[in-house]
Amino acid sequence: MTSSGSPIKKVKAMFSNLKRYTPYLLFAGDLIALILFVVVGQRDHELVNEQNPISGVLLSTLYFAAPYLITGVLLRAFNFDADNEGRFYFRFFGRWLNTWLVAAPLGILIRTFALGRAVIPTTFILAGMGFGGLFMLAWRILFALVVWWSNRRQ
């Protein structure tokens, strides 16, 4: 009888194969977090486009996602160079935070210009940066916990 290996070994193999796709996985998770942030914001403020809600969400997400992708590539927010030391987590979250602090105000500016508004309410700046960042931070923490768990099992 041959055994195909333990479930732990299968999980380790799966994660080692995913390493080359990690930048795409990180951006996809960040994008999903941004989409959720936009959906919640539009729903709570009754700004949902009744004729085409998906189009409204995607357009609003694009205002934030475009500068986030460009800034994230430039500041290496999607790089994944895990080690077993705690410094990895400081780099991982530090790069993400730098990217968000640059990209979020750019996204807010792009959204303001696209909507033809002359003034950006301070509350929108604070809520956009704060709550948008919290949605993405939750995803990044989940990702870091999975990485930590998989490294711990080795």
Q: How many domains does the chain have?
A: 1
* Residue whose structure tokens are 């195909």: 4
Q: Does the residue 43 lie in any domain?
A: yes
pLDDT score recorded for residue 86? 62
The two three-digit tokens of residue 112, written as one number: 């303001």
Separation of alpha carbons 49 and 87, rounded Å:
44
Q: Does the residue 18 lie in any domain?
A: yes
Q: Give pTM, 2 decimals.
A: 0.81
* Residue whose structure tokens are 């960040």: 30
Return the SS3 of 21. helix
pLDDT score recorded for residue 2? 47
pLDDT score recorded for residue 1? 44
Q: Does the residue 37 lie in any domain?
A: yes
Q: Does the residue 45 lie in any domain?
A: yes
pLDDT tops 70 at residue 146: yes
Q: Does the residue 2 lie in any domain?
A: no
Q: Which of 91, 58, 77 is nearest to 133 (CA)?
A: 77
Separation of alpha carbons 119 and 150, rounded Å:
47
Q: Does the residue 139 lie in any domain?
A: yes
What counts of helices (H) and strands (E) characterise the chain? 5, 0
pLDDT in tens, 57-114: 899 899 999 999 999 999 999 987 665 566 778 888 999 999 999 999 999 999 999 9
Q: Which residue range(s) make up the domain with 144? A: 7-152
pLDDT in tens, 109-145: 999 999 898 888 888 899 889 999 999 999 999 998 8
Count of other CB atoms within 10 angstroms of residue 97: 16
The two three-digit tokens of residue 72, written as one number: 């994230």
| Residue environment code for 42-62, b if the CB has 16+ CB neighbours within 10 A, otherwise e | beeeeeeeeeeeeebbeebbb
Q: Does the residue 1 lie in any domain?
A: no
Q: Does the residue 100 lie in any domain?
A: yes
